[in-house]
Structure 1
Amino acid sequence: MSFDLVAQQPKLLYLLQGVTAFAAVVSLIVLALHRGPVRRKAAALLLLAPALLLLTVGLLLPALRTVVLSFTDSGGQAWAGLDNYVWMCTDPRALVALRNTLAWVVLVPLLATAVGLVHAAAVVRSRCRAFALALVLLPMAMSFVGAGVVWKFVFAYRPAQAAQIGLLNRLVVAFGGEPRQWLVDSPWNVLFLVMVMVWTQAGFAAVLLTGAIRAVPRELTEAARLDGASPRQIFRRITIPSIRPTLLVVVLAQVAGTFKAFDIVKTMTGGQFDTGVLAHEMYDQAFRYGETGRGAALAVLLFVLVTPCVALQGRARRRAA
């Protein structure tokens, strides 16, 4: 233990020096703003300077470094040109990860939003609305790793002659069926992993959409009811168009989050049995196999795919507000 503390002392010293320097910079900025007259734009720039510095050091520079690494070999030293991007578009394992990521991006936002919308429509006028929303929101309080562990036990498999510990196989055996290795059979195992992600994200959609439905003017629904519209017609012709901006925000948020799916795949299958996704493949290539260039290329691809979704989400959120 004492040896570990001695070995860590230089790192702790550098960290302490960095924190002290950052605190000194912030103090000087506050003192400058307090002592002399400063224009509003200059004051805003001074106040933003520490945050911009941290973003540059912690985000911008590593991103540029990753782009450079994506054009290098496995050691990150020799120039490899577009070899890593060619590998990404031709390697069977990388193509499986691309295919699975596309399936996740299509299925998770649609299913999570649909489940959240149905739940929101069912409980929006209910007296126990808060309790019902709390129930569907509970999975969000659990980490993706925790959710993966829970559902891995649900899908657990034992040979037919052994006692089943997985809930799903116990139900199958109870009804006279044979236990199955749910997380091994492709492509169904991808759908089971998607279901876990939907289970964790449906509560987010339900809460936002409940608020949006409650904000729909009562005058519109009452007028449609007086005109003889059925509840289904009111929901389809009035409620859905009224909450469309919120629906778009929810879907785009789910898309951006799904691109970065990693924990559930890592916990439940480890990317085996054709269940890998881009984020997991990036981790494996960079840290497990030592292919730094390939991992960086996958990271660049993820950045390119996520950035438009984040930009559209910000625009949709401003419109919804």
Structure 2
Amino acid sequence: MSPIIQGILTIIIGVGGCITYFYASNWVLDHLIFPARTDDRGRNINRATMVRPWLFLFPAIFALGLYLVYPVVGSFYRSLFNRSGEEFIGLGNYYYLFAEDGFRVAVFNNFLWILFVPAAATFFGLIIAELTDKLSWGNLAKSLIFMPMAISFVGASLIWKFVYANDPDIGIINAVRDSMGLSPIDVLQIPFWNNFFIMFIMVWMQTGFAMVILSAALRGIPEETVEASILDGANPFQIFFRIKVPQIRSTIIVVWTTITFLTLKIFDIVYTMTGGNFDTEILPSYMMDYMFRDDGRATAVAFVIMLIVLPVMIWNIRQAQREA
């Protein structure tokens, strides 16, 4: 079937299905469940009014349950079985994971990513947003800084592989070391610090995103507050950190949490740069190692990732409620 015909049929079926559900559900509610022609008309109308919002929410709730809740419950249930899925072993996969050195390294590295990447990207984005607003060619600078957002994670990783190459003729770092008379090194094989070299790729890509959002927030600050602080004798650093930053705190939190969620899902950069070797393993790449070897342990890792994401989600929801 032609893709154009498929698209047209999808639109017709989707829109037609929504319209049909809307009218059919209303008709069933008003004529069969709570008919308005009975002696108890007023009470039935009130009951229908209470039920109607849930009737309209049902498709979304059903979809969330099918594509979100069911996979979570199913993954946890699958993680309680052995590799073949035939023998129930309880928390055996979790005991194995927490006893393995590779899993502890992956968890530690994941927390490094969560702590460093969102904080660094948000900080650099905030500083650049403030500085570029003061320049006549600030829009050009912002365009150049935002450009890495258009590159895929794999593409960015390949670019930085050349930067980190241990050949002085290719790698910038080793070219500088060679000019200083130092021997070349492979920065991706330096224990612990190699994680930060990989994380910097993510920071490089997400700084542009943070800069654009925070720049818009900074421009929304009333000029009166800035002018009043200048009259009170505040210097530029005090104006920025004590006047401007507190007024865009909610935007900073949104940017920070958005980058945090993206960081928790990162896989491409680590897999492309080191494949998880040299103690750079993170939970998604660690899960992929088991994906085709032991489905039970892979789903156990996936459930652990969800437990790590959960506190961030709850905190983000509470912050949104406070702002509301």
The number of aligned residues is: 300
Q: CA deviation at 1:258?
A: 1.4
Return the offset for 1:179. 1.2
Say what the alpha-carbon RMSD is for the aligned residues: 2.8
Runs of 5+ unmatched residues, structure 1: 1-17
1:191 corresponds in structure 2 to 196
CA contact (8 A) 1:124 1:213 kept: no
> Residue 76 of structure 1 is aligned with which of 82, 85, 96?
85
Q: Following the alignment from structure 1 to structure 2, what is the Cα–Cα distance between the partners of residues 319 and 124?
A: 30
* Distance in 1, Cα, partners of 2:222 & 2:130: 15
- Paired residue for 1:283? 288
2:300 is the counterpart of 1:297: yes
Q: Distance in 2 between matches of 1:215 and 1:318?
A: 22
Distance in 1 between residues matched to 2:270 and 2:82, nearest whole Å: 27
Match in the other structure for 2:21? 29
Partners in 2 of 1:260 and 1:85 — Cα distance?
21
Q: CA deviation at 1:180?
A: 0.8
Question: Using the alignment, how far apart are the partners of 1:240 and 1:216 within structure 2?
Answer: 10
CA distance in 1, matches of 2:84, 2:206: 38
Of 255, 258, 264 in structure 1, the residue corresponding to residue 260 of structure 2 is 255
Are 2:174 and 1:165 aligned? no
1:164-313 → structure 2 map (5 Å cutoff):
164-287=169-292, 290-313=293-316
Measure how far apart 1:165 and its partner are.
Answer: 2.4
The one-character-per-residue Cα deviations of 1:244-273 (angstroms, maximum 9, x if unpaired) are 111222222222221222110011100011
CA offset digits 1:258-310 (Å, max 9, x no partner): 122211001110001110001111111123xx121211111111111112212
Contact residue 26 and residue 50 of structure 1 kept, 8 A: no
Aligned residue in 1 for 2:120: 111
Relative to structure 1, the CA distance from residue 50 to residue 164 in structure 2 (aligned partners, 3 Å threshold; closer, same or farther) is same
User: Aligned to 2:187, what secondary structure does the other structure show?
Assistant: coil
Are positions 1:132 and 2:135 aligned together? no
Report which stretch shifted further, 310-319 or 118-127.
310-319
Provide the rounded CA distance (Å) in 1 between the counterparts of 2:163 and 2:125: 23
Counterparts of 1:195 and 1:86, CA distance in 2: 33
Hey, what's the Cα distance between the residues in 2 that align with 1:95 and 1:144?
A: 25
For 2:270 and 2:209, the matched residues in 1 are separated by 21
Q: Report the more deviating stretch, 274-283 or 67-76.
A: 67-76
Structure 2 CA distance, aligned partners of 1:320 and 1:207?
Answer: 21
Q: Distance in 1 between matches of 2:97 and 2:233?
A: 57
Name the structure 1 match of 2:159. 150
TM-score normalized with structure 2 length: 0.83
Output the CA distance in 2 between the equivalents of 1:233 and 1:226. Answer: 13
C-alpha displacement at 1:33, in angstroms? 6.7
Cα distance in 2, alignment partners of residues 262 and 297 from structure 1: 17
Assess, with a 3 A threshold, how the Cα gap between structure 1 residues 43 and 141 changes in structure 2: closer, same or farther.
farther
Q: What is the identity percentage for the equivalent residue pairs of Structure 1 and Structure 2?
A: 36
Question: For the residues of structure 2 that align with 1:244 and 1:20, how far apart are their CA atoms?
Answer: 44
SS of corresponding position for 1:183: helix
8 Å contact from structure 1 (residues 123, 132) kept in 2: yes
Q: CA-to-partner distance for each residue in 1:54-95, whole Å, 9 max, x for gaps? A: 333332222211010121112222111112212222210101
2:105 match:
96
After TM superposition, the structure 1 stretch with the greater mean CA deviation from structure 2, 120-129 or 40-49, is 40-49
Once residues 277 and 295 of structure 1 are traced to their aligned partners in structure 2, the CA distance between those partners, rounded to angstroms, is 13
8 Å contact kept, 1:253–1:310: no
**Letter paired with 1:238:** I
Task: Give the gaps of 5 or more residues in structure 2.
Answer: 1-9, 31-47
Larger Rg: 2
Match of 1:64 among 73, 86, 91: 73
Deviations 1:89-136 (A, max 9, x none): 221010110111111111111111111111011012434333222222
CA shift, 1:221, in A, is 1.0
Report the more deviating stretch, 39-48 or 206-215: 39-48
**Cα deviation, residue 137, structure 1:** 1.3
Secondary structure (helix, strand or coil) at the match of 1:216 reads coil
TM-score, normalisation: structure 1: 0.84
